[in-house]
């Protein structure tokens, strides 16, 4: 394999499949597409302008190269900035828009960021509040036009023929071993750590994933992008699309995904389990609004889909019933996703097996994959090819890398995708990458010898006071199959028994109370209602039968509010921040064990 730099995707696409819509986004209510040639020209002018500002790769070292930060929603300008930065050997430092000011200040100072690009006025205000504490920052540029703020087009306007020639001269000198990005992930101590990823790390992961999944070159295809580009999962997928000739359309926001899917009619997208859960909840709410025969048919179809197994035929009668369900019910689900979806890749957390069964039965193919930022990120993924998917696993290991399980089940990986290390943290790097093997901190087992199955995070395993180990994730995922449970967290470290914090699905609960002739007042009142508590006690008992005695939930607390990114309990990729929940709800946990 010839290892390329990430920005070589522009030449690759111009040579093999120049497109009218390499990237597209909604601007003033209309979809605006950028051709491959437009993107290449814009990126070159952007690089030239950055050179004029004095940005460079300097000595091509991690410390010596200039850093450019970006805090923005997904949009074409995000990719322009990424590519323009790479082409002159500078290093991109992407930051989540939801990052709190203290972490943001730490990241910008740690990386000694020179210029920063923000999407809108809200993020501009956030950065303005800390910019005085970050002496390395020279200017803050915006993507939206904001009065009194420097707009990013001022940089492309600086380009002239001499600078453009300089860009062309610099590009070939950038080695694939040079850092493309430093991605800061939250550390267990609360101090973010910068994962250093080179062009080689990400490019090899792109090619191995492309071969393994597989992603064929598909210039007629398009995807909808809405997972944050700050996260390596969406960033690597972006380069898979660019190297496969797949057009990328950016959703306006998480709230408009439904509308954007119907407008764009994409062939696929990447997501996280929490968003799939939300989609399914909305579908079920619509099902609950039906009456008579339509309602019966809807729930008959869902019940049928729950029994689906892609590896074992249900028999002629089952297959005939499923075909009818697909024609009458699931065809409407597919239409709601735009009608063309041939793949959805989910990662970042474990996906409920029930959801995988239902969506795949409905001919909405969902493939679960796995990998940490430190591996650029993909380690394994279920496959589009026959026999390459097993529900409840994260699929076979991708080509080009090697995986082994330690005695305690920890997943370790080696290969060209493993990070260069943590920025300025050789101590942490030495603890995490040992003899070339990345220790992921995830616990796994082999299923049928080739499918990797994640059983838990090493750090999330806990011991009860009786000395028994408990893995929270499988318990939480099983319980969340109930339509009455929106979110859940298992507790019980050093306690006599396992407890749970449960956020009810209040829409489902409201319908149930209406059916029972009970009055729904507020969430706060409902979680203390004797009949509601009785319902959840029965629910917990029904799920406990799936677990060993030590893993069974003995007591629980119902909570009145959903955990979100905004309220601080969820990460930007919608994983649970367990420490935050433990601290916020310590009174509720104390009541469980009082």
- 190 pLDDT band, cuts 50/70/90, is low
List Cβ neighbours of 529 (8 Å cut-off, separation of 6 or more): 513, 518
| pLDDT value, residue 191 | 83
Strand, helix or coil for residue 515: helix
Q: What angle is formed at CA 86 by the lines to CA 101 and CA 231, rounded to 5 degrees? A: 45
- The maximal CA–CA distance of the chain, rounded, in angstroms, is 77
- Check: CATH 3.40.50.12780 for 6-267? yes
Give per-residue pLDDT as tens, 527-568: 999 999 999 999 999 999 999 999 999 999 999 999 998 999
CB 146 within 8 A of CB 124: yes
Domain spans of the chain?
6-267, 270-339+341-457, 462-593
pLDDT digits (tens, 9 = 90+) for 435-454: 999 999 999 999 999 999 99
- Strands 437-447, 410-414: pairing kind: antiparallel
H-helix or E-strand spanning residue 481: none
- pLDDT over 50 at 285, yes or no: yes
CATH of 270-339+341-457, one of 3.10.20.30, 1.10.10.10, 1.10.443.10, 3.40.50.12780: 3.40.50.12780
Nearest to 74 by CA among 259, 271, 251, 269: 251
Answer whether the bond into residue 377 is a cis peptide, omega within 30°: yes
Question: Given this structure, which CATH class describes domain 462-593?
Answer: alpha beta
Write out the two tokens for 414: 């080696």
Cis check: omega of the bond before 214, within 30 degrees of 0: yes
Phi-psi region of 561 (alpha: psi -120 to 50; beta: other; left: phi over 0): beta
Measure the CA dihedral 541/544/546/548, to 10°: -140
Per-chain mean pLDDT for the chain = 95
Give the span between the Cα atoms of 339 and 347, in whole angstroms: 23
Contact 357, 276 (CB under 8 A): no
pLDDT tens digits, one per residue of 111-142: 999 999 999 999 999 999 999 999 999 999 99
What own/partner pairs with CB < 8 Å and gap ≥ 24 does 549-554 have?
A: 550/464, 550/466, 550/468, 550/470, 550/498, 551/470, 551/475, 551/498, 552/498, 553/475, 553/479, 553/490, 553/498, 553/499, 553/500, 554/497, 554/498, 554/499
- The stretch 143-170 carries a mean pLDDT of 98
Q: Which residues make beta-bridge pairs with 250? A: 25, 225
Q: What is the pLDDT averaged over residues 466-471?
A: 86
Give the model's pLDDT for residue 1. 87
pTM for the structure as a whole: 0.89
Nearest of 226, 30, 181, 186 to residue 91 by alpha carbon: 181
What pLDDT score was predicted for residue 188?
Answer: 42
Same fold flag, 270-339+341-457 and 462-593: no
Q: pLDDT band at residue 147, thresholds of 50, 70 and 90? A: very high
Q: Kindly state the average pLDDT of the residues 162-177.
A: 97
116 within 8 A of 68, measured Cβ to Cβ? yes
H/E stretch holding 558: strand 553-558
Give Cα 227 distance to the centre of its chain.
6
Helices (H), 480-577: 506-515, 523-526, 530-544
Q: For 420-438, how does the pLDDT look when each residue is reduced to its tens digit (9 = 90+)?
A: 999 999 999 999 999 999 9
Q: Which residue has the higher pLDDT, 276 or 459?
A: 276
Q: What size, in residues, is the chain?
A: 594
**C-alpha angle 75/79/85, rounded to 5°?**
140
In angstroms, the CA 401 to CA 403 distance is 7
Angle at 490 between CA 382 and CA 377, to 5 degrees: 30
pLDDT at 466 (0 to 100): 85
């Amino acid at each position: 394999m010839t290892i390329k730099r990430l920005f070589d995707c522009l030449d690759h696409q111009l040579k093999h499949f120049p497109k009218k819509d390499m990237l597209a986004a909604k601007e003033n209510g209309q979809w605006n597409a950028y051709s491959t040639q437009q993107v290449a020209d814009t990126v070159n002018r952007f690089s030239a302008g950055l050179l004029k500002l004095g940005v460079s790769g300097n000595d091509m070292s991690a410390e010596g190269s200039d850093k450019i930060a970006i805090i923005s929603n997904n949009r074409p300008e995000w990719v322009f900035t990424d590519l323009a930065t790479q082409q002159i050997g500078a290093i991109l430092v992407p930051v989540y828009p939801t990052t709190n000011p203290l972490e943001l200040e730490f990241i910008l100072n740690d990386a000694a960021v020179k210029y920063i690009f923000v999407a809108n006025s809200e993020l501009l205000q956030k950065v303005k509040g800390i910019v005085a504490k970050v002496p390395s920052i020279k200017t803050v540029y915006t993507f939206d036009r904001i009065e009194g703020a420097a707009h990013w087009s001022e940089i492309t306007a600086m380009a002239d023929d001499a600078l453009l020639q300089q860009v062309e001269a610099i590009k070939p000198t950038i080695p694939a071993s040079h850092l493309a990005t430093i991605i800061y992930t939250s550390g267990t101590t609360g101090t973010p750590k910068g994962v250093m990823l080179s062009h080689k790390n990400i490019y090899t992961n792109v090619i191995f994933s492309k071969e393994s999944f597989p992603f064929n070159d598909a210039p007629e295809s398009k995807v909808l992008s809405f997972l944050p580009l700050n996260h390596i999962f969406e960033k690597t997928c972006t380069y898979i699309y660019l190297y496969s000739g797949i057009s990328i359309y950016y959703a306006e926001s998480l709230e408009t995904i439904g509308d954007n899917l119907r407008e764009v009619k994409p062939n696929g997208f990447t997501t996280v389990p929490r968003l799939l859960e939300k989609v399914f909840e909305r579908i079920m709410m619509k099902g609950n609004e039906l009456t008579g025969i339509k309602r019966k048919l809807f729930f008959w179809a869902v019940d049928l889909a729950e029994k689906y197994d892609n590896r074992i035929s249900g028999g002629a009668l089952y297959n005939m019933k499923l075909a009818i369900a697909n024609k009458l019910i699931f065809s409407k689900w597919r239409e709601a996703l735009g009608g063309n979806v041939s793949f959805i890749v989910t990662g970042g957390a474990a996906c409920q097996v029930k959801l995988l069964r239902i969506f795949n039965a409905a001919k909405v193919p969902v493939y679960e994959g796995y990998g940490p930022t430190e591996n650029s990120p993909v380690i394994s993924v279920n496959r589009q090819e026959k026999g390459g998917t097993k529900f409840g696993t994260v699929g076979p290991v991708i080509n080009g890398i090697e995986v082994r399980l330690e005695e305690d089940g920890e997943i370790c990986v080696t290969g060209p995708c493993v990070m260069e290390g943590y920025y300025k943290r050789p101590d942490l790097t030495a603890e995490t990458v040992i003899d070339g093997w990345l220790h992921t901190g995830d616990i796994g087992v082999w299923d049928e010898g080739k499918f990797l199955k994640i059983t838990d995070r090493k750090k999330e395993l806990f011991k009860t006071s009786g000395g028994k180990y408990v893995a929270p994730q499988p318990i939480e995922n099983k319980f969340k199959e109930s339509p009455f449970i929106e979110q859940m967290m298992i507790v019980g470290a050093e306690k006599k028994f396992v407890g749970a914090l449960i956020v009810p699905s209040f829409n489902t609960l409201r319908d149930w109370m209406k059916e029972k002739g009970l009055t729904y007042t507020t969430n706060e009142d409902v979680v203390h209602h004797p009949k509601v508590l009785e319902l959840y006690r029965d629910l917990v008992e029904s799920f406990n039968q799936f677990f060993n005695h030590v893993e069974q939930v003995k007591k629980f607390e119902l909570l009145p509010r959903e955990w979100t990114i905004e309220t601080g309990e969820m990460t930007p990729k919608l994983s649970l921040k367990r420490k935050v929940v433990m601290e916020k709800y310590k009174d509720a946990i104390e009541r469980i064990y009082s």
